[in-house]
Structure 1
């Protein structure tokens, strides 16, 4: 498997340059085609307008969103023109309640989606449904960068969060191009089960699976010495100087009456390094 088609989504002018820088670096590293989706977001809630409200008000919000999309697309084209990348820029308008569907319809035809952290100071409310749309409805791996992270180079030390779940297995398979190119992959197991077929060798089968792909893998078994699994993982990531975390994403879209699972959300709030995840 290779990442031949990479998608990034721009909705916020303040995050556009950093997001494009990361997406360009990733596309260049994999010699991939980069698609940039620029969305102007109508953030008014469905049902906001009372019966008989002036249609000009609605038209004004849509016009503003359209202008934002055009500005984002112009900025993206300016950054990409003259590069050696193969790229395409698309622009459009989406309402906040429907943005996940727009993202998913394009993400499903990509190999990887590159996005900024959905949580953080001055991050727009649309970033969470954008991430959810790619993960849960687009069924595509997502690479997410923390704010201020330098342009990504191929990761040399990767932490693979392993709990034997289907989501973690899918993440490992989807990340194989990255894992195979790394110098070492740490299979991180936190509080392994005391009963079951893998109790005496937690992470052993995953290490064997990766070794057959030529991956140099180590197994790190940790105790949950902190309240949250994500806290233990983040601390270990710092201790081992990891460049990337690979993990499964848990939960479902909030539009299915749930939100991102606890460990998933926590990692997207506090991870000091990029996070690669699938659902």
Structure 2
């Protein structure tokens, strides 16, 4: 049985992650697995003091550092257990009955890669503990490589959640006619998560041929599956146009395919997916 894997870290965004996971679990009738990873704190190059102190002081210092590390580890474990317990309570209050929890040491990306075989959907916060939780590019960039690595490493759809989550009644599918966008449509049709929500299918013009025909075909596929679809072919800068449309039509959820261009090109030009994660103030589903 596939699970909704929700990553929590105790930051203010944890509540939104829990709410999004509960919403997805109820719509898909899937259990939630709340995951908390205890990552090793970064060192700052000031750990080796052996050249500046005597042998006796060195032994005492090492013992004290070992004791403090042990205390920090115990506190981190207990803090994580408390967070997981609170997350379970939140999901239960939302009406979810099948809930699991897991705590582990190590890197979050490694944990999610190992658990991917169990996942139907993954839910992560856009900003994590130790970062500014306010919306905006600066706060995202502190965690941006983490999310970008996750998008590249897993094949499970991701919900990337901002500091607040509201159950959506409408979603916007950013469609560009490429294979990743076509896959997004197929998964939306087959998945059931967005069934019954109003769909805004938006394409931004580029130099590719046959865009209007591709947009019409995508609209037909979604309409045939029972979606109410508003299809629009727009002009302008991709992220600017999508954000303006989202705000104008009060869209509550954005859906995109991941990384349409080659990895080499992204090194120089960046990615429309990443730009939207940086700039969007609403939850974003990334379909691999």
Question: Shorter-chain TM-score: which interval?
Answer: 0.7 to 0.9
Q: Which structure has the highest helix share of the two?
A: 2
* 3-state SS of 2:39 partner: strand
- 1:156 is matched with 169
* Superposition deviation, residue 24 in structure 1: 2.1
Q: 1:160, 1:186 within 8 Å by CA — same for their partners in 2? A: yes
Q: Which has the larger radius of gyration?
A: 2
Matched, 1:180 2:191: no
* Superposition deviation, residue 205 in structure 1: 1.7
* 3-state SS of 1:88 partner: strand
The alignment yields a C-alpha RMSD, in angstroms, of 3.6
- d(CA) in 2 for partners of 1:10 and 1:236? 31
1:118-170 deviation line (CA, Å, top 9, x unaligned): 487256988445534543222100112222333x2xx3321110111222222
User: Structure 1 unaligned runs (5+)?
Assistant: none
- The TM-score, its normalising length taken from structure 1, stands at 0.77
* Residues 227-242 of structure 1 mapped to structure 2, 5 A cutoff: 228-242=237-251
Q: 1:143, 1:276 within 8 Å by CA — same for their partners in 2? A: yes
In the alignment of these two chains, the number of paired residues is 262
- 2:54 is matched with none
* 3-state SS of 1:219 partner: strand
* Residues 1-279 of structure 1 mapped to structure 2, 5 A cutoff: 5-44=3-42, 64=72, 67-81=75-89, 83=93, 84-94=96-106, 98-118=107-127, 121-122=132-133, 127-128=143-144, 130-132=146-148, 134-150=150-166, 152=167, 155-176=168-189, 177-182=192-197, 184-193=198-207, 196=209, 198-224=210-236, 228-250=237-259, 261-279=270-288
Q: 1:167, 1:248 within 8 Å by CA — same for their partners in 2? A: yes
User: Structure 2 unaligned runs (5+)?
Assistant: 51-57, 134-138
Higher RCO, 1 vs 2 (CA within 8 Å, ≥6 residues apart): 2
- The TM-score, its normalising length taken from structure 2, stands at 0.75
